[in-house]
Structure 1
């Protein structure tokens, strides 16, 4: 097999890259180790920045997003028993939209299949070869047959645990990592959302977040220990803790209860590798970076990566040289590190750290009060939350 661009991973990064390149007339083959059902059903982040919505809409895969997405013009910061709204739209002219990552994946898969572009699921034994040549290759098995895909360019969009980053020789990448001393216990409940906009709550017992997947599906998170045993969290305890952390000074909680459909624990970490390239292999999305979910940047960063990468590949394909490809890593990393900074800031601002230091607690409250009372503070949060420019970063 032979193609211009081989793409590993059928998540938002790989699928959007394939979609953008197909629209530019560039041949791609997209290979995924999991089944189509698996990638379409795995629940991930569900908040899209304005720039992400604009890209999906402009490239013809935003019809269902426009119909079913839930635009949000603000968020609420809740602390000391009071809520404070940050007017995202009023401060920046932009909004965010609730639309599940799995829905973005479904839309992009449907578009790729409708276009007749190659999309191979359940590829076994994936291995990267020839990285030190100008013809990288992917070896894999499908339907019991050994296959080799020769590429001009290889895009590693296969996530944190994928094969592409690990195929780069040892010592070629610089790794930056921070592991946080807490995690999120997340639930999906058949209940109305606590509010029409997200609520971020800072409480002495720990952080809590109230969001949604739809007008009838609530998504809630509680700060917990990384080693938390879900068996120790029956439904009654989860609801009681959410009410306690979300309650106002009058003791009333906006959280509405319902049957819990899913639950899980998400570790909190920051991770970046530099550069996001080795030879003709280019990394994008979670293969190159992870952010804590506090800033809602994970999928949006992946989208931003492939917008930059697709334009660089298109320029190279049209005979405009290697300048944009050579600059891909540094261009993407400018935005990535700003998103890391914002995610770290939100995490540090809202979570209870080990020991419950009263000094740190007071500093967090002072910072929150400043953000909510200062036009400059609110604008800084709003500008980062709705998303920095996709390329300028």
Structure 2
């Protein structure tokens, strides 16, 4: 092995964005290397969002990767819709009314999608390097960006490339490598948090949401024997204030009936709800993808699909540059992605406000609660 390796694209991070991008490039014969700081076992077990909208499903199909999407499906023409409880009264919300393309969406836990993308990438000859430490990016504004890291054995590695894809999340090294005066951060804080609880409880139906005067609540499938429960709570709450007994009691109150099945709680987090967009999404040879560039309210269930859109746009831009020596798609990468990101943020903010303001009026008042109820009336039958 030479002192400096050579490749076309170095992908930082093996989450959904990085692995999807790696698979897209591999299918068109574009050399790439994915470096990931965690172990393969860690990624396979890390619980994250589980919803992939019809746009995301379509992108995988277009790239010949429909095999990686495994999970229960919902069709936008489904007449029943998703159960929505308003003060305990069962209604029906139709996601199709807010699906940008219609078609089939999938409940696919992120760890399942990551596992499938990893297996496919390695099976097809992809170069994926786990446990990469001390990653640093150099010469991003030059002709030949460089990525340095230490491999699992502690050996120093250097890769020269044409492009770096920063897919290492909100707290990763990629965005931090861009000079602060280059980036503009736009953010919106909703003023409340979710208590997110992972429990060994099957979800039937696959998803149910509740609007209640005590706050929003939801149960979403995370696999055949696991569910993620959400409870709206103040930003000042701590995990110590939410023992198991209180979690199940509060869920029962907001759902209007005791939870049908309870089980061992394996994880709990407090998640402040916010939306964030960084602009531009490109600095020299570095392109930001997924959470490295933007966060969307989890209420929208659009995080994975936004990451996939970034991967699709970037992959097509690199292919056009390599195959046709045409940089036009690369030059417009940030603008193209941000247009889609902002359209998604519109949906995310409207959905988040409606679901939370329609219940607890103590924060925004009764006028905003009535407005939110009117918004919900457009989504339900």
Between the aligned partners of 1:64 and 1:303, the Cα distance in structure 2 is 13
Q: C-alpha displacement at 1:363, in angstroms?
A: 2.1
Q: Which residue matches 1:78?
A: 85
Q: C-alpha displacement at 1:15, in angstroms?
A: 0.8
Q: Which residue matches 1:286?
A: 291
Q: Which residue matches 2:193?
A: 183
Q: C-alpha displacement at 1:12, in angstroms?
A: 0.6
Q: Which residue matches 1:274?
A: 279
Equivalence map 1:94-105=2 (5 Å): 94-105=103-114
Q: C-alpha displacement at 1:216, in angstroms?
A: 3.1
Between the aligned partners of 2:91 and 2:67, the Cα distance in structure 1 is 33
Between the aligned partners of 2:361 and 2:181, the Cα distance in structure 1 is 33
Equivalence map 1:1-393=2 (5 Å): 1-63=5-67, 65-66=69-70, 69-73=71-75, 74-88=81-95, 93-142=102-151, 143-193=153-203, 195-247=204-256, 252=257, 255-351=260-356, 352=360, 355=363, 357-372=365-380
Between the aligned partners of 2:189 and 2:42, the Cα distance in structure 1 is 28
Number of residue pairs the alignment of both structures matches = 366
Between the aligned partners of 2:225 and 2:354, the Cα distance in structure 1 is 30
Between the aligned partners of 2:363 and 2:279, the Cα distance in structure 1 is 34
Q: Which moved more, 1:160-169 or 1:206-215?
A: 206-215
- Structure 1 unmatched runs, 5+: 374-393
Q: C-alpha displacement at 1:113, in angstroms?
A: 1.4
User: CA contact under 8 A between 2:109 and 2:223: conserved in structure 1?
Assistant: no
Between the aligned partners of 2:68 and 2:29, the Cα distance in structure 1 is 25
RMSD over aligned Cα atoms: 2.0
TM-score (norm 2): 0.90
Between the aligned partners of 1:253 and 1:97, the Cα distance in structure 2 is 28
Q: C-alpha displacement at 1:323, in angstroms?
A: 0.6
Q: C-alpha displacement at 1:226, in angstroms?
A: 2.9
Q: C-alpha displacement at 1:331, in angstroms?
A: 0.8
Q: Secondary structure at the match of 1:271?
A: strand
Deviations 1:231-265 (A, max 9, x none): 22122211111111111xxxx45643233232222
